[in-house]
Each structure stands twice: as C-alpha cells, then as structure tokens.
Amino acid sequence: MEKNRLPGINLDAAISLTVALVAFALFFSTLAPTVLEADAGEFQFVPWLPGIAHPPGYPLYTLLGWLWLHVLPFGEVAWRMNLLSALIAAGAIGLMVQVVRLVLNQTLPETPVPAQRIVAVIAALTLAATPTFWSQAIIAEVYALHTLFVVLILWLALQSGERVWAGQLLAVTLGLGLAHHVTTILLVPAVVVYVIIRSGRPVTIKVISIIQYGLLAMIPLLLYLYLPIIAPFTPYAQLPLSQTQTLTLYDNSVSGFVDHVSANAFRGDLQPAAVGVERIELVGQLLRRQVGWAGIILAIAGLIVLWRRRKFDLLALTGLALGAVVGFNLIYFIGDVFVLFIPVWLIVCIWLAVGILGLVHWLADRFVRAKIGSEDSVIFHRLRRQLWRNAYQTIMLVLPLFFFALPLLLVAANLSEVRQDETTQVRDRWLEILAEPLPERAVLLSNDRNEIMPMWYYQYVEQRRPDLQGLFPLITPDPAYAHIAGVLDQALRSGRPVYLIKPMDGLSLKADLTPAGTLFQVTPLDLPPRFESRQKLPDVTVALPDGESTESISLVGYDISPASSRAGDTVEITLYWHVDQDLQIDYTSYVHLVAPDGTGLAQSDHRPGGDFYPSSDWQIGETLRDKHTLTLPADLPDGVYPLRAGMYFQPEPGLIVGMGSGVEVGALTVKTPASQG
C-alpha cells in the first residue's frame, strides 16, 4: 500500500479524520437536543446512575456512558448521551474509509491510490447518509457503538494476515463487541473463514492457539459481571408497589443473571417457522430505503467484480457476515428489527465502492485502449506508461467525483425525516405531567414502555417527583403484568392513586376514568349491587372461525337510560359481561333496537375494549362494563321495542364470522310528549 504522508501525518489518517468530521457535522446539526422515549430514553438515564439496561444489559455501553458523562460535565445529561452517539458514529464513518480502502486495494490494486481514496470516502459518506444509521447516530442508542465494533472487526480482519498483533487485537475486539451487543457473534464465522482462505495453506489446528485467542476473546466478557455488582445499587432493580407487591426488574441471582445476559425475555420473538415471502420482501424494501436503486445496482456490480477477480476471501468475509445478519433478522420478529440491519447496509456500501471503482476502471481502461491500440503491441505498454499520468489517471480521478451525488442525494432525501434537532415534544409533555398537582405516591400508567422511560429519566437524573411510580405492560415477566389491564389491576390493588398518562378508553370496561388536568384518574368500577349474585341472562354463544367450536360469555345484567324516550333521542345501554372462560379472539359486541317483526331500527356495534383491552385479553372471573349509544330514528312511532344484544367476530370491515346467538335485554318505550301527557 502506498505510503503518502503529510508533514508528520499519514495522509490516509488525515482523510479519515476529515470524513469523520464531516459526518460529525451532519450528525451534530441534526442531533436530538433533549429527552427521548423508548430505548433512547432508557440509555439517557441508565449510564448516569449507573444502572442496568434491558437485556442483555449492555455493560460496556453503560460504563462508557458513565465515564463520558463525567468527562463532559456540562449540558443536559440526555443531550450529552445523544452527543456520545454522534461522536462514536462519526468515528465509525472515519474508520469505514480505511476498511473500504483496504478492500479496494486488495481487489483492484492496479488502480491509482487517489482514486481508491475518493471512492472510499464516497462509500463511507453513503453509509453516514443511510437513514437507519443516521437516525441511530443522533440519539442515545447502542447501534453507533455496535457499528464501530463491526467496522473495527472488519478492519482488523483485513490486516490479520500481515500483522500478528492484528489477529490478537481482533480476538479482543470480538470479545468487546460481544460485551456490547450479542449479535456480534454473527460475524465470527465470516472472520474465521476469511482468515483461513487468506492464509492460503491447509488449516492446522493448534490447541495452544485456540486457547490463546479464546482467552483473548473471553476476557472482555467479564464486563457482564458488572450487572450483579451494580444490582444492589440500582434503584429500579426492585420496585415496591405496596407492602405486599414488589416488582423485580432484575433478579440478582445466578439464574436471573443468565436470563438477563442471554436475553431470555426475547426468545419468544425468534420465530423461524413464521418466515415467509413478506419477510424477505421487507429486506428488499429496507435496502431500497437505504441506498436506492442506484446503490443496489452499484453493489451488485461490486459483487461481480469481486467474483471475476476471484476475491473469494473478501466474498467470504462480507458475504457470510451479511448472510448471517440477514438470516438472524428474518427470524427475529421485534418491532424495531430494522436497526439490526445496519451491518448489512455497511457491507452493501463496501460492495458499492468496489462497483464504483471497478466501473470507473473499466471505462478508463477501455478509453485508453481505444486511443492507443492493441494491448499486445509493444507500443501499447510504452504509451500506457506515458499516458498513466494524464489520460488514464485523469479519468480515474474525475469520474468517481460524480458518485458523490449518491450520499448528497441521500442526505437531501432523508433530512426532513431523520433530523431530531427540533424534537422537544417528549420533554415538554413530561414536564407538563410532572407539574400536575398529583397526590403523593401516585401511579402513572401507559400501555407502552417507551412512554414511561422519560419519566424515569426525570426521576433518576433530575430527581423530579421520585415518589411517583411508572408502570407499563411486561415491566416484569410476571403474567399479571402481561397487558395494560393487568397492570391496571395491580396498580388499583396497591391502594395508591392511579392515573393514565393518555386516553385509553377501552379501559373504561373495568374502571372509571375521570379527566384530571392532562391525565385521567382511575378508580375501581362501581358495579350495581344486583350483579354481585350474578342473576344473569342466558349466555351469549359465539361460533369460532374454525366452525367446529364455540365460546360463550355471560351477560349478567344491563341498564337502559332513559328507559322511556322519544323519537330522535339518544339512549345509552350498558351491558355487563362476566367472563367465564378464556376468549381466543377479539369480538364485536352489539345492541340492536328491533321492531316487533324483527326488523332492525337502530344499532350500535363496536369492539369492547378497543385496542387497549380487547376480549382476547379479558380475564376469567371479572365483570366488565360495555357502554353502547343508540340514536332513535326521528320518525319512530310510539311503542315498546325489544333490545337485543350479543357478540360476533369481524376479522375485517364488512365481513362477519361467528355471529352470536344474542339475547333480549329488555325493551325501550318510545312516547311522544303528547302521549306522555
């Protein structure tokens, strides 16, 4: 490799530093300025304590964040953690230049070094402008550091054949990567195969070498011992809800440690049998979203160049790594799986670089050949040496410059969607909530963990209202907290004041919800005394979609208000359902006003519980209040009209499956003012 140096400075290092600064400028200008929701909100307070993050724990990131927050003692803590991601991401982009440079030099060594450098810069900036990586570079998240480790592992692997220290450092880096993000293990097969192919000789297994490199890789994993060490000092490892209720978020035992580090809570999201065509289509959609069709075509061209140049070692390193990450992501069904594809886009950018340089080299070489004749002639070699510094090299330097359009277009296309520099809604909302005159030790509920993380940030970092307790589904593995209705039950059991942080109308099935400032106070449902003895109506039976089985639910009572109305009035009918068995699907309930001959006159159909507490989540033994509103026809004659109630399954609008038997729930008397007089 050419050793071009500035005065006292390696030119390649200077280029990498410049690219890193450009990337940092992009990230800093779009950086989130304050508190965020979801994992980003969690990673804004966990390092400050320091505490324990969600499985697998991320000990390296936590300790690095703690050190960073104390080295930079100014600015809001949340902003400082966002800034750390920007710095790490910029470092990854700077090192990416060197990785691409090594790949290009191994694949197309005859091309001018300046051309290789230009293309390496284009590839690195393209990665910086991909929307997924960019979005993780401007918030407190683990994926900037994960990307840095991926780039560093590739860089060390590419040098491992020439430098002994690179192989040893590679083992340590793999261990550090695993101490940060467990998906680093997906790179190991690719690295091993690359090293074997690169060595060019039969593999001889040396026990001493296996032990040596294994120990080097395992030593960083001792960082996970941070979890049991810090657990007794982590304020949310155990959350007392009442004298009889304690939530264990981290079980400080050997089994609890193993479950946390192995991310046992997420194993249910690994679903190989659920992979279908739509999942594969998702990969294509995400790829187009990152680099567009132009980037995809260039990456394919790069693969062709690697194959034709017989660079099987590089194909193994990049191809096996990409295949392993894609394969894992296909079977991992989590909502934000797209962030786990960042190493894939990184490798695509490497292939893209090979495609650009290969294309430019092919064009320049054909141009020179056309001008100077056959390669077999002696004069060709003389003229090519004479023209090396003019025609060929000029083309190799000028043509790549046009490909800077790719990262520039990506920045322009993604800027409005990715930028976070004006994102203050989360901060403003939680400062508003915490300023409410909430009673001491109130419990605040959300159906979404992501929405509670900012509250914990303000409690643990800024000590705002530490007496409050935030709860959400799956806060612990306890089945009682599996969904928001169960969380609500546990909160009400505690005897503490309970509030919802947002409207969740479906919960009115099981509790009274009263507006209280910007929140909603929750009080237990006050059921009419006559239902306590379950003087119920006939069960409502619903046929399941399989057509071979049924489910039933008890209608134990109803209220009609007012019992006597006029044409055009609005009437409220409240049904009281008692759950006798687990229900498999989400039903729609109905109340129909019918004429004596059975003709429908007015109806109310809705899914009781909505999205927050659908019937498939209802618990055996509870009685739920289901309110319906009927608007009577304006021309409805006086008379007594039966009301019929029941349930059915509606998998999509306009399609009804398993219409229930239905039961009569009394009658409505309709009288005009004259007849009432």
138-153 pLDDT per residue, tens: 999 999 999 999 999 9
User: Are 300 and 352 a contacting pair, CB within 8 Å?
Assistant: no
Nearest to 226 by CA among 82, 462, 64, 459: 64
Q: 74 with 211, same domain?
A: yes
Q: Of 417, 446, 461, which residue sits at a domain end?
A: 417
Q: 388 pLDDT band (50/70/90 cuts)?
A: low
Q: 585 pLDDT band (50/70/90 cuts)?
A: confident
Q: 315 with 430, same domain?
A: no
How far, in Å, are 36, 112, 366, 372, 387 from residue 382 at the CA level? 64, 18, 17, 10, 9
Q: Report if residue 1 sits inside a domain.
A: no
Q: Given this model, what pLDDT does residue 385 score?
A: 58
Q: Of 478, 507, 524, which residue sits at a domain end?
A: 524
The residue whose two tokens read 């237990």 is 524
Choose between 482 and 454: higher pLDDT.
454
Give the DSSP H or E segment for 663.
strand 663-670
Q: What is the pTM of this model?
A: 0.87
Length of the chain: 677
Q: 623 with 491, same domain?
A: no
Q: 367 with 245, same domain?
A: yes
Listed in order, strand segments (DSSP E) in 455-547 are 469-471, 498-500, 511-516, 519-524, 540-543
The lowest-confidence range among 24-33, 38-47, 454-463, 607-616 is 607-616
User: Are 588 and 614 a contacting pair, CB within 8 Å?
Assistant: no
Give the DSSP H or E segment for 246.
strand 246-248
Task: Note the pLDDT tens digit of each residue in 1-14.
Answer: 444 444 545 888 99
Q: Look at residue 191 and give its three-state secondary structure.
A: helix
Task: Note the pLDDT tens digit of each residue in 274-290.
Answer: 888 888 889 999 999 99
Q: 488 with 545, same domain?
A: no
Q: Report if residue 620 sits inside a domain.
A: yes
Task: Note the pLDDT tens digit of each residue in 193-222.
Answer: 888 887 765 555 555 666 777 788 889 999
Radius of gyration of the chain (CA): 32
Assess whether the previous peptide bond of 400 is cis (omega < 30° from 0): no
The lowest-confidence range among 173-177, 233-237, 455-459, 596-600 is 596-600
Q: Report if residue 316 sits inside a domain.
A: yes
Q: Report if residue 646 sits inside a domain.
A: yes
Q: Of 524, 555, 571, which residue sits at a domain end?
A: 524
**CA–CA dist 660, 550 (Å, integer):** 9
Looking at the 3D structure of the chain, how many domains does it have?
Answer: 3
Domain that residue 512 falls in: 425-524
Q: Report if residue 79 sits inside a domain.
A: yes
> Could you give the angle at which helices 77-107 and 312-331 cross, rounded to 10 degrees?
140
Q: 321 with 382, same domain?
A: yes
Domain CATH number, residue 665: 2.70.50.60
Q: 177 with 302, same domain?
A: yes
The pLDDT mean for the chain works out to 87
Q: 512 with 583, same domain?
A: no
Q: 130 with 266, same domain?
A: yes
Q: Given this model, what pLDDT does residue 477 score?
A: 86
The lowest-confidence range among 100-104, 214-218, 237-241, 408-412 is 214-218
Q: Report if residue 473 sits inside a domain.
A: yes
Q: 344 with 475, same domain?
A: no
**CA–CA dist 640, 468 (Å, integer):** 52
Q: Report if residue 303 sits inside a domain.
A: yes
Q: 580 pLDDT band (50/70/90 cuts)?
A: confident
Q: Report if residue 273 sits inside a domain.
A: yes
Instruction: Determine the distance from the C-alpha atom of residue 381 to the mean position of all C-alpha atoms in its chain, rounded to a whole number.
Output: 57
Percentage of the chain exceeding pLDDT 70: 88
**CA–CA dist 31, 50 (Å, integer):** 23
Q: Given this model, what pLDDT does residue 5 score?
A: 46
Choose between 666 and 44: higher pLDDT.
44
Residue 164's contacts (CB-CB under 8 Å, 6 or more residues apart) are none
Q: 656 with 511, same domain?
A: no
Two structure tokens written together for 30: 């779009």
pLDDT at residue 378 greater than cutoff 70: no
Residue 354: Cβ within 10 Å count? 29
- CB-hemisphere CA count at 13 Å for 317? 29
Q: 109 with 47, same domain?
A: yes
